[in-house]
Amino acid sequence: MGVTCVSQMSVAEGKSVQQTVELLTQKLEMLGAEKQGTFCVDCETYHTAASTLGSQGQAGKLMYVMHNSEYPLSCFALFENGPCLIADTNFDVLMVKLKGFFQSAKASKIETRGTRYQYCDFLVKVGTVTMGPSARGISVEVEYGPCVVASDCWSLLLEFLQNFLGSHTPGAPTVFANRHDAVYSPADTMVQYMELFNKIRKQQQVPVAGIR
Amino acid sequence: MEAPPVTMMPVTGGTINMMEYLLQGSVLDHSLESLIHRLRGLCDNMEPETFLDHEMVFLLKGQQASPFVLRARRSMDRAGTPWHLRYLGQPEMGDKNRHALVRNCVDIATSENLTDFLMEMGFRMDHEFVAKGHLFRKGIMKIMVYKIFRILVPGNTDSIEALSLSYLVELSVVAPAGQDMVSDDMRNFAEQLKPLVHLEKIDPKRLM
């Protein structure tokens, strides 16, 4: 996959999450982007069960198991600041077997769903981030297909983001800082989504009135 | 131009339980050639396939009496192939008439950082070995004839030593749960390998 930047779009003043998403998608359609189906990225959190902690003598770690509709046959498992494992979907079956050792924090399943837009070499995905029934924020993912090295195309991506997001343009993702000249991989995108989801989880819930 | 449809729901792993049916036996080194010859005749027509794999067995200890075992296997002679992570459940104690050992199995293909990831999860390596041998197929049955090598220096797969003067022979099938006819087909195939090798159901617990 090409170099990708995942960022959060803040909800517009006096508007709901859904209205802000509509504003963004209208802007994309005016630019001439073509709608190409939908996407979904979800994330479940697991923590080491108390029974295993005692013997390990280390603080419980959080493990994230994520899926991305762009790679329907894969499953991504990662630790914050740790390795990201790319496996096939049987990994979910294994997590069921590991129930006694890793407990799923059911309430913290978070996902983003929305539309995919293709604009020349850019693939833009605008999604509504939801936790359970409530919409918590907006995710924007922009991928520049032709390039796989972050340092080579970050300025181009930034220019496109400024054109599209205006003042809400994000800074360079932290994954770029660590691996400037390395080949970009889907695992880097999943790390960005994990960071986004964690940020949104910590934020105040969007007022209910705004959602309707 | 029609865009390819993108699934709305990410495809998550099915909950179909796959079972591994297994029969095992062994042959001494000097009988290997005749066994390979017979297998070449009985099995599906294909290029003789050899393999050289490095397997590491990881344990996760918890409060439960028995630790959770996972097997991580990589190919040493085929570069670029994914690592293979395998979970094998307890053998099903059921029908004494069932001809093969049956246990739940989950097979997962993973990226190369599997060992680092397992360590991060809390698993620790219990033991490792190298397996070198031949692979045959007959329909859904897989027949492996291989030798196990002990690794003398942990992590160094160059210095290995054969564990015995024989080859382990395994006849296995991975099929959805409930397909017991599979073990009948396996027994029929095993009959055709007698007297070169006697494949039987070996309960791992009896050996410990």
Read off the pLDDT of residues B29-55 as tens digits, 9 standing for 90 and up: 999 999 999 999 999 888 889 999 999
Q: Is the pLDDT of residue A116 over 70?
A: yes
How many Cβ atoms from other residues are within 10 Å of residue A49's Cβ? 16
Q: What is the ipTM of this complex?
A: 0.85
Select from A39, A77, A10 the least CA-distant residue to B118: A77
Of A55, A77, A116, the CB nearest to B6: A116
B66-125 pLDDT, tens digit each? 889 999 999 999 999 999 999 998 888 766 667 888 899 999 999 999 999 999 999 999
3-state secondary structure string, chain A?
CCEEEEEEECCCCCCCHHHHHHHHHHHHHHHCCEEEEEEEEEEEEEEECHHHHHHHCCCCCEEEEEEECCCCCEEEEEECCCCEEEEECHHHHHHHHHHHCEEECHHHCEEEEEEEEEECCEEEEEEEEEECCEEEEEEEEEEECCCCEHHHHHHHHHHHHHHHHHHHCCCCCHHHHHCCCCECCHHHHHHHHHHHHHHHHHCCCCCHHHHC
Query: Are the beta carbons of A39 and A70 closer than 8 angstroms?
Result: yes
Residue whose entry in the numeric block shows the structure tokens 């570069």: B79
pLDDT on residue A50: 57
Interface-testing mutation among A47, A88, A93, A112, with chain B (most B C-beta atoms within 10 A): A93
Q: Which residues of A touch B3 (CB under 8 A)?
A: 34-37, 118
Give the CA diameter of chain A: 59
Spatial distance between the Cα atoms of A6 and A165, rounded to a whole number of angstroms: 12
Q: Which residues of B touch A36 (CB under 8 A)?
A: 3-4, 6
In sequence order, which ranges of chain B are alpha helices (DSSP H)?
A: 32-42, 114-121, 181-193, 204-207
d(CA B80, nearest CA chain A) in Å? 14
pLDDT on residue B11: 41
Query: Are the beta carbons of A85 and B110 closer than 8 angstroms?
Result: yes
Cβ-based neighbours of A105, under 8 Å, separated by 6 or more: A45, A46, A47
Q: Which residues of B touch A97 (CB under 8 A)?
A: 68, 87, 89, 106
Share of chain B above pLDDT 90, in %: 63
Helix, strand, or coil here: B98?
coil
Is B64 an interface residue toward A (CB < 8 Å)? yes
Q: Which residues of B touch A187 (CB under 8 A)?
A: 111
How many Cβ atoms from other residues are within 10 Å of residue B107's Cβ? 17
Backbone angles phi, psi at B177, to 5 degrees: -60, 145
Lowest mean pLDDT among A146-155, A177-186, B194-203: A177-186
Q: Is the pLDDT of residue A133 over 80?
A: yes
